[in-house]
Amino acid sequence: MSIKNRKNKVSVDKHESASGSTSSTSSKERKAISVEELEVPTLQWFTQNRSQRREQAIQDPKKSWKTSRRLVFTLGTIVGILIACYMGADHVRNNNSELFDSLSILNMDSVRDLIVDWKEVLPQSVASFLGDMQNGYSSENNFPDLTESFAVGKQMRRELNMTAKHPVVMVPGVISTGIESWGVEGDSECESTPHFRKRLWGSFYMLRTMVLDKMCWLRHIMLDPITGLDPPHFRLRAAQGFEAADFFMAGYWIWNKILQNLGAIGYDPDTMTTAAYDWRLAYLDLERRDRFFTKLKQQIELIHELSGEKVCLVGHSMGSQIVFYFLKWAEAKGEYYGNGGEGWTDKHVDSFVNVAGTMLGAPKAVPALISGEMKDTIQLNALAMYGLEKFFSRKERLEMIQTWGGIPSMLPKGGDLIWGTLNSSVEDQLSNSTESLGSFIKFEKLQENARFTKNFTIEDSIDTIMQLSPWWLQDRINDQYTFGYAKTEQQLKANEKHHSHWSNPLEVPLPNAPDMKIYCIYGIHNPTERAYVYREQPTNSTLNLTIDYDSTNPVYFTEGDGTVPLITHSMCHKWAQGKSPYNPGGSNVTIVEIKHQPERFDMRGGAKSAEHVDILGSAELNEYLLRIASGNGDTIQPRLLSNLSRWAEQIPFPM
């Protein structure tokens, strides 16, 4: 029975009830009405007489409610039919047009109008599906969903006959490798045995331990402040294998989609591996404690010998810095160095893929080391971040981070040359603010007897970190890292002899490897933290600087991928200019910028996300990686969508 028929029937019943009689004529009329108008309402009917139905809803709310339920039910039935037909498309693909032509109850003009009205609210997948319906769904426009497992790899194999060629070594970014407890001693206040082989970083067990035994979790996860290595009685190590970095915790993938798509074109554990490492350690301490770089070098040499193919190194975020450091380490001569000699890289490495790399650092590392900010500084999923923010004070977080020697490696490099002065920065043309982004830390409210009386540049901020840090952190930073830039070619070459320069591409050149190919792939068009407003708290001797969240604008943003500002990729553009002191072998450099276009209703952004972590699930990035690994990297065309190439020309590099 149609809704119109039901309305008429109700009015007849009311009339009979009021008169107290039931005539046969009325009964016949009711029956005639019921049969005559027994038809399915069209969408056009639902869109008519809106004002009249609104008045009826005001006069009779109960009746309007019942009517709306019928409306929802009818619409649900129609959508259900469409979905059922869609799901059966694989089996009756040739009959789709007949099926949809037979659904005469749909007025497609009305559907088109509704889609136009609601396209900003409907999920993209739903809008696309309904668009296919009204345009005549057919196999020609039936594109696969590239967010599905293995989708990119299967498509590349099917359409291009793509297969495995170069062995692939993947180096994860900061915090994305799980950390397990291997100690059985502990101390009188915190026992290690219950945590044996449990992940104290990168699992739900981590969250559980945070909540139930916060201090014991801290005792395990912090490093010895003096040595920068394991504290007495506690021992944590990086998880190994693909499980070390495929998921941060259940449901939150990191490298899993890349592993799936590589597997779809023929890769297996003999031809691909994950170089998991304890990201808490300073870079050379990875070698001193775990022989990480020695193992990585031997693994590359072995798979190169067995396969007869050079290796493809893929680094993400801090992992790209690790790869760059490793290439310098492998050829350097000395204790704890690789001693591979010049030419090792050109012999063993086909390509270096830098995915969203922090080659010139990330400004977010500064507030992490000044005031213990971790919400966006250390990329975690929301649940893990909630645990750190909820159960640990800034002071506790700062003391923990200061023991992690790997975090200072991400401090910005190049000083005023790259990041600007108090009055100017190449990024200022993107900002509507009258203040320069080169003024990195701003003080809007100067306290009485304040220690800090002027704004800081990036260079000033790193000096401040050194002043505020304990002596053991100062010594570790001085021994492990540098943040300036070489001014002459002779200085650039001299710096290759000491490990403190190897994480800074402004102070050492690329290996002399003419045959190695470099790919820089990163996201753009995602607002990224660039500068901060701070306030001083002289009464707090342990944490006297904090972000001023009472300010109208405590954080300034710039162009980037949500974590790493665009300007940090300027080194790739300098390398791409050809043979130079920075690129002595003239290695070919291909730069691809991916626009961040997240799906509104997908928590991870979908196949078009270019966010700093979620880019690892991007269909476009996965396609590029498969092309490079399969030996088809030369088919990738450079794509520059931002102003960075122009900025790189404006930066006064000394060479």
**Single-letter amino acid, residue 376:** D
What band does 211 get if pLDDT is binned at 50, 70 and 90? confident
The whole-number pLDDT of residue 43 equals 41
| C-alpha to C-alpha distance for 356 and 354, rounded to whole angstroms | 6
State the number of CA atoms in the 13 A half-sphere of 280 facing the CB. 28
| C-alpha to C-alpha distance for 437 and 412, rounded to whole angstroms | 14
**Single-letter amino acid, residue 102:** S
**Among candidate residues 617, 643, 425, 611, the one with its CA nearest the CA of residue 530:** 425
Paired strand residues for 199:
180
Q: Picking from 92-96, 386-390, 549-553, which range would have the lowest pLDDT averaged per residue?
A: 92-96
Q: Which run of H or E residues covers position 125?
A: helix 124-135
Q: Picking from 298-312, 334-348, 351-365, 370-384, which range would have the lowest pLDDT averaged per residue?
A: 370-384
**Among candidate residues 581, 572, 613, 641, the one with its CA nearest the CA of residue 353:** 572
In this model, does residue 19 exceed pLDDT 60? Answer: no
In this model, does residue 32 exceed pLDDT 80? Answer: no
The whole-number pLDDT of residue 33 equals 39
Q: Do 548 and 533 touch, CB atoms closer than 8 A?
A: yes
What band does 627 get if pLDDT is binned at 50, 70 and 90? very high
DSSP-derived letter for residue 351 is E
In this model, does residue 63 exceed pLDDT 50? Answer: no
Q: Picking from 5-9, 211-215, 448-452, 474-478, which range would have the lowest pLDDT averaged per residue?
A: 5-9
In this model, does residue 645 exceed pLDDT 90? Answer: yes
In this model, does residue 91 exceed pLDDT 70? Answer: no
Query: Which residue of the set 304, 569, 573, 612 is catalytic?
Result: 612
Q: Extract the tokens encoding 66.
A: 């019942």
The whole-number pLDDT of residue 106 equals 41
- Per-residue 3-state assignment (H helix, E strand, C coil) for 44-96: HHHHCCHHHHHHHHHHCHHHHHHHHHHHHHHHHHHHHHHHHHHHCCCCCHHHH
For 256-286, how does the pLDDT look when each residue is reduced to its tens digit (9 = 90+)?
A: 999 999 999 999 999 999 999 999 999 999 9
User: Residue 25: CB partners within 8 Å, gap ≥ 6?
Assistant: none
| C-alpha to C-alpha distance for 324 and 335, rounded to whole angstroms | 19
Mean pLDDT of the residues in the chain: 82
Question: Between vectors from CA 576 to CA 574 and to CA 578, what angle results, nearest 5°?
Answer: 95
In 434-569, where does DSSP find H-type helix? 458-468, 471-480, 489-494
Question: Between vectors from CA 247 to CA 378 and to CA 631, what angle results, nearest 5°?
Answer: 100
In this model, does residue 388 exceed pLDDT 90? Answer: no
What band does 382 get if pLDDT is binned at 50, 70 and 90? low
For 567-610, how does the pLDDT look when each residue is reduced to its tens digit (9 = 90+)?
A: 999 999 999 999 999 999 999 999 999 999 999 888 888 899 99
**Among candidate residues 628, 644, 603, the one with its CA nearest the CA of residue 252:** 603
The whole-number pLDDT of residue 250 equals 75
Strand order in the sheet with 179-181: 199-201, 179-181, 236-238
For the whole model, what pTM was predicted? Answer: 0.79
With H, G, I as helix, E, B as strand and everything else as coil, classify residue 112: helix
For 92-141, how does the pLDDT look when each residue is reduced to its tens digit (9 = 90+)?
A: 444 444 443 444 334 444 444 554 455 445 555 555 555 554 444 333 44
The residue ranking higher by pLDDT, 131 or 244, is 244
For 188-209, how does the pLDDT look when each residue is reduced to its tens digit (9 = 90+)?
A: 889 999 999 999 988 889 889 9
With H, G, I as helix, E, B as strand and everything else as coil, classify residue 297: helix
What band does 429 get if pLDDT is binned at 50, 70 and 90? confident
Query: Which residue of the set 192, 203, 317, 436 is catalytic?
Result: 317
Q: Are strands 252-253 and 588-595 parallel, antiparallel or unpaired?
A: unpaired
Q: Picking from 13-22, 112-121, 330-339, 493-502, which range would have the lowest pLDDT averaged per residue?
A: 13-22
In 270-404, where does DSSP find H-type helix? 283-290, 292-307, 318-331, 344-348, 365-371, 382-391, 394-403
Residue 612 among the catalytic residues: yes
The whole-number pLDDT of residue 420 equals 96
How many residues does this entry show for the chain?
Answer: 655
